């Protein structure tokens, strides 16, 4: 059970990092914000679309991580030991 939990935790970590990178994409601000609204608030944040993009990029990155660590057998520990 801990193997799948670890993989899910790594995927969620990647997902949130990618989310913060994707959030600023396509942000348009209102030329004249209404009273009481933040002038920097986006008109339409498109959160659903950004969540789908984030998931796709995260799956790709996690797939590369999984391939390198599980299929090829590399790890950060093995890479650090070969340099000494």
Cα distance between the two ends of the chain = 34
Separation CA 62–CA 65 (nearest Å):
5
Residue 80 banded pLDDT, cuts 50, 70, 90: confident
User: Measuring CA to CA, which residue among 56, 38, 54 is closest to residue 46?
Assistant: 54
Instruction: Note the pLDDT tens digit of each residue in 7-53.
Output: 999 999 999 999 999 999 988 887 887 888 888 888 888 999 999 99
Q: For residue 54, what are the CA distances in angstroms to 4, 60, 74?
A: 21, 10, 26
| 35: its two tokens | 């009273």
* Backbone dihedral angles phi then psi of residue 47, each to the nearest 5 degrees: -65, -35
Domains of the chain by residue range: 45-84
């Amino acid at each position: 059970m801990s193997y799948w939990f670890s993989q899910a935790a790594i995927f969620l970590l990647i997902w949130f990092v990618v989310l913060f990178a994707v959030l600023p994409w396509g942000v348009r601000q209102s030329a004249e914000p209404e009273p009481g609204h933040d002038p920097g608030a986006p008109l339409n944040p498109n959160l659903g679309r950004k969540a789908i993009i984030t998931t796709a990029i995260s799956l790709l990155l996690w797939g590369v991580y999984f391939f390198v660590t599980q299929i090829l057998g590399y790890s950060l520990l093995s890479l650090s030991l070969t340099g000494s």
